[in-house]
Structure 1
Amino acid sequence: MTIILGLDPSLTCTGWGVIRSEGSRLTHIANGQIKTHAKAPMAERLALLHGGIASVIAEHRPDRAACEEVFVNENPKSTLKLAQARGCVLAACGGASLSVNEHAARLVKKAVVGTGGADKSQVGAMIKVLLPGAKVVGTDAADALAVAIADAHLGRQPGQS
């Protein structure tokens, strides 16, 4: 049995999802979103993200985490903000000595939906199928659960090569 924390970092709204993986069986444990206010100082927003993820880790004690790899979009300012948010989330994992697997967004979508070009509604629909009964709090949490599910299928256990 492995408890996996999936992460979908964003400065505006970071999604997180925790699942249990036992062989091919997946069970939903929890999910949520950490939202920051756009007008708040950057340092406060980043501290909120870090503290929020650190609290999730302390509460659910995952065995490992999984995060989408950073992608570069056309707006360099947006890319920088995403990188800062991602850094806070990864620092929270590192502070808890939690190993983190990273997966490309297209690979996550392919693992969960069957196509790398899936949109958010398709990902959300498959989360309902793969984790029946889970109450997903929003699209960012659904994306984080998708990362955790993909990691359950694709991820390596710590120490594996």
Structure 2
Amino acid sequence: MAVLRVLGIDPGLTRCGVGVVDVARDRSATLVHVGVIRSDPHEPIERRLAAIAEGIRAVIDEHSPSVLAVERVFSQHNRHSVMGTAQASGIALLIAGERGLAAATHTPTEVKAAVTGYGVADKRQVQAMVARILRLDEVPQPADAADALALALCHAWRGGTASAPAPAGGSLTPAQRAWANAERLARR
């Protein structure tokens, strides 16, 4: 059975959620890794971004995802908060580019709809569904970790690599080819 390994990233400057899942053709999913990369709010911005980059690279090195899914930055009431989120998102996408990984962004509404079937679900509903889908005894904490897993699931269930660009050089990895073939066969 073909499996797609997705790294979901819930970008944040203080807490950046990271979650890796393996998703099979039948949409069943298995938790591979979940965590939060933290940066000290008292540090200069360049050190905070470097800490986030180091953490994302470590997860990629350890778990070898086929694709990276990042929450799409959207307008928030707090401009300071949205700037940090945008900066962390940019770091994640840059690293994907450096590593030749396909990358995609998804809005919070897309993620909620994919995981719960309801685009305006609240955070608790999303977290509960993530735990249920991955057969976990508890909801991953903090919320950023559960959100990262929801992003990974959303990406895999919304077409996997089909909506993401091919890695540098224009060719798909063996895992991406297997996933794309499985998706094509499932649509018949």
Shorter-chain TM-score tier: over 0.9
Q: Which runs of 5+ in 1 are unaligned?
A: none
Residue in structure 2 matched with residue 36 of structure 1 by the alignment: 39
TM-score (norm 1): 0.92
Distance in structure 2 (CA, Å) of the matches to 1:138 and 1:120: 11
**1:154 maps to what in 2?**
158
Aligned residues: 160
Q: How does 1:5-154 map to 2 (within 5 A)?
A: 5-23=7-25, 24-133=27-136, 136-154=140-158
2:124 is paired with a residue whose SS is: helix
Displacement of 1:155 in angstroms is: 3.2
Structure-2 separation of matches of 1:68 and 1:82 = 9
8 Å CA contact retained: 1:54, 1:96:
no
Identical counterparts, % of pairs? 38
The CA deviation at 1:37 is 1.4
- In structure 2, list runs of 5 or more residues that go unmatched: 167-179, 181-188
Contact 2:102 2:161 in 1 (8 A): no
In the superposition, relative to structure 1, how do residues 134 and 27 fare at CA in structure 2: closer, same or farther (>3 Å)? farther
Does the residue aligned with 1:33 lie in a helix, a strand or coil? strand
Letter aligned with residue 13 of structure 2? L
Give the counterpart letter for 1:60 in structure 2: H
User: Does the CA contact (< 8 Å) of 2:9 and 2:148 recur in 1?
Assistant: yes
Structure with greater Cα Rg: 2
Which amino acid in 1 is paired with 2:47?
E
Corresponding residue SS for 1:157: helix
On the 8 A contact 1:101/1:155 being kept in 2, the answer is no
- The normalised TM-score by structure 2 is 0.80
Pick closer, same or farther for the CA change 1:127–1:146 going to 2, 3 Å: same
How far apart in 2 are the matches of 1:114 and 1:40?
40
Quote the RMSD (CA, aligned, Å).
1.6
Q: CA deviation at 1:134?
A: 6.4
C-alpha deviation, 1:25, in angstroms: 1.5
